[in-house]
């Protein structure tokens, strides 16, 4: 890849990061059973980057967007930064690696399903570690939240993002690869 191609690729990645940040400002829907959990579609452009440019590009955008979101936009602080990097990073890494080799619709479905499953498992594990400190509650309270709150929220968030990505990726990929 020559210098011009690298610059164009970096510019497109920056554009996807900017779209991600705009989305987090425009769409934030609290999850009623637990208002500290909020759905936003900011991960969609990040995962699209992972599909288009590879998982490491998606992870790089994840870290940048998570930092800006946590410390400048949403005020989520270090906990928000950490949880966003872990959730989105795990999804984009797994989905990006699976999709990277064979870019077909079937492979996209497999990649998105694997990314969703990875997100859910990762976030339940990390919620058991981080949430007791964040909410100041015993771990038993977090365990009690797994089935009624954490599992449905994470399935919903990763699932909605996966469906949207599946529906919009190919037209966007044509633009990104021009």
In the chain, what are the domain boundaries? 3-23+41-176
| Per-residue pLDDT reduced to its tens digit, 57-109 | 999 999 999 999 988 876 778 988 999 999 999 999 999 999 998 889 999 99
Query: What is the rounded CA–CA span in Å between residue 7 and residue 4?
Result: 5
So what's the architecture of 3-23+41-176 in CATH? Answer: Orthogonal Bundle (1.10)
Q: Which helix (H) or strand (E) holds 31?
A: strand 29-31
pTM of structure: 0.92
Give per-residue pLDDT as tens, 131-152.
Answer: 898 888 999 999 999 999 999 9
Provide the token pair at 140: 């038993």
């Amino acid at each position: 890849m020559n210098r011009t191609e690298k610059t164009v690729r970096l510019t497109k990645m920056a554009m996807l990061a900017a779209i991600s940040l705009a989305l987090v400002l425009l769409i934030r829907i609290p999850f009623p059973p637990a208002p500290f959990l909020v759905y936003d579609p900011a991960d969609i452009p990040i995962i699209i980057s992972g599909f288009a440019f590879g998982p490491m590009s998606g992870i790089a955008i994840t870290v940048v967007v998570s930092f800006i979101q946590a410390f400048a936009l949403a005020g989520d602080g270090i906990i928000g930064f950490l949880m966003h990097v872990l959730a989105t990073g795990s999804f984009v890494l797994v989905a990006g690696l699976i999709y990277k080799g064979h870019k077909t619709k079937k492979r996209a479905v497999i990649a998105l399903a694997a990314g969703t499953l990875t997100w859910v498992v990762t976030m339940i594990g990390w919620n058991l570690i981080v949430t007791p400190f964040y909410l100041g509650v015993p771990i038993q309270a977090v365990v009690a939240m797994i089935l009624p709150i954490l599992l449905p929220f994470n399935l919903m968030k990763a699932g909605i993002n996966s469906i949207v990505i599946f529906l919009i990726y190919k037209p966007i990929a044509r633009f990104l690869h021009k």
